[in-house]
């Protein structure tokens, strides 16, 4: 049976825009429940300035607390060499280094040109143990809130700098604004896979702002991608589209692959109650469809003549 790996990013991307602070104990309990549902690889938070993202200020505490959770591969997102070093010093065994293809977006996030961030990535790799798992997240691979649609050649040009630094790193193309469409997803992954055959694992980070998240996941799967980010309850939101939802819902992705006969290792019956509770987090912006469908009590489709 074919299979995919779903990376749960709700505890990082789903939480980071929520204003009211989610108690650390609540975050840890959600992580335990997600693991129990079958999610083994979870982005539990980020090492960033607590002034910039107050919701992430307890990530070191969470990292320490879940170190003993059986089967959990906890990954930490970092935007710079400084925060990457601190994450590893705190015990992180898996890092996600994020930088933007778009100069405007990268400067807005970390006040650096993308090539300056690439240089930091290289220095970080030299400074940390070689057995630390590394993933590259290329934000704005498809579209930028400041620059619009990103030309494919810009993505490839940045990867030509990044890939040789760690050819075995997982590479994730991120639809930061949710404006990617299936045609663009197919074209960009095809071009990148052809240009960088040494990259063994490609991933997609889809947002669902315009309702195309699941379609883009399906397209990437058909193109050969086998790692997908998603957030339980569809948590996320988009700061550039007020009121819009953000990440594609984990339960929607699991349901689709289950129906396709593609193994995810996730128990949808255990996941949905966690997603229901996640969608109810004060200040959150939930999304997705499967959660409501499976809890409505109206799962049968009645033909109308």
Catalytic residues: 238
List Cα–Cα distances, 66 to 13, 61, 128, 278, in angstroms: 18, 9, 21, 19
Cβ neighbours of residue 203 closer than 8 Å, sequence gap 6 or more = 7, 135, 170, 171, 172, 173, 225, 227, 228, 229
State the residue for tokens 């086998």.
Answer: 226
3-state secondary structure of 166: coil
With tokens 């969470």, the residue in question is: 62
Q: How far apart are CA 177 and CA 166, in angstroms?
A: 27
Under DSSP, the state recorded for 12 is I
Residue spans of alpha helices (H) in 57-99 = 59-65, 81-89
Q: How far is residue 143's CA from residue 151's CA, in Å, rounded to a whole number?
A: 9
């Amino acid at each position: 049976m074919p299979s995919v790996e779903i990376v749960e990013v709700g505890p990082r991307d789903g939480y980071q825009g929520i204003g009211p602070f989610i108690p650390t104990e609540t975050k840890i309990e959600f992580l335990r429940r997600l693991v129990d549902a079958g999610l083994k690889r979870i982005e539990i938070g980020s090492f960033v300035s607590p002034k910039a993202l107050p919701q992430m200020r307890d990530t070191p505490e969470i990292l320490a607390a879940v170190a003993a959770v059986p089967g959990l591969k906890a990954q930490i997102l970092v935007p710079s060499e400084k925060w990457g070093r601190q994450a590893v010093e705190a015990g992180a065994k898996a890092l996600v280094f994020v930088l933007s293809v778009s100069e405007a977006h990268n400067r807005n996030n970390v006040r650096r040109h993308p090539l300056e961030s690439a240089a930091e990535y290289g220095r970080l790799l030299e400074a940390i143990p070689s057995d630390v798992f590394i993933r590259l997240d290329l934000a704005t691979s498809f579209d930028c809130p400041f620059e619009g649609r990103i030309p494919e050649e810009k993505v490839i040009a940045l990867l030509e700098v990044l890939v040789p630094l760690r050819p075995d790193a997982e590479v994730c193309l991120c639809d930061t604004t949710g404006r990617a469409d299936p045609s663009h997803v197919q074209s960009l992954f095809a071009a990148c896979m052809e240009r960088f055959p040494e990259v063994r694992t490609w991933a997609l980070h889809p947002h669902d702002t315009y309702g195309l998240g699941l379609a883009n996941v399906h397209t990437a799967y058909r193109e050969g991608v086998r790692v997908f980010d998603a957030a339980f309850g569809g948590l996320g939101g988009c700061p550039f589209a007020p009121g819009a939802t953000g990440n594609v819902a984990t339960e929607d992705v699991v349901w689709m692959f289950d129906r396709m006969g593609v193994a995810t290792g996730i128990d949808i019956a255990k996941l949905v109650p966690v997603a229901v509770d996640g969608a109810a987090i004060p200040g959150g912006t939930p999304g997705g469809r499967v959660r409501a469908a499976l809890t409505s009590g109206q799962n049968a489709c009645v033909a109308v003549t």
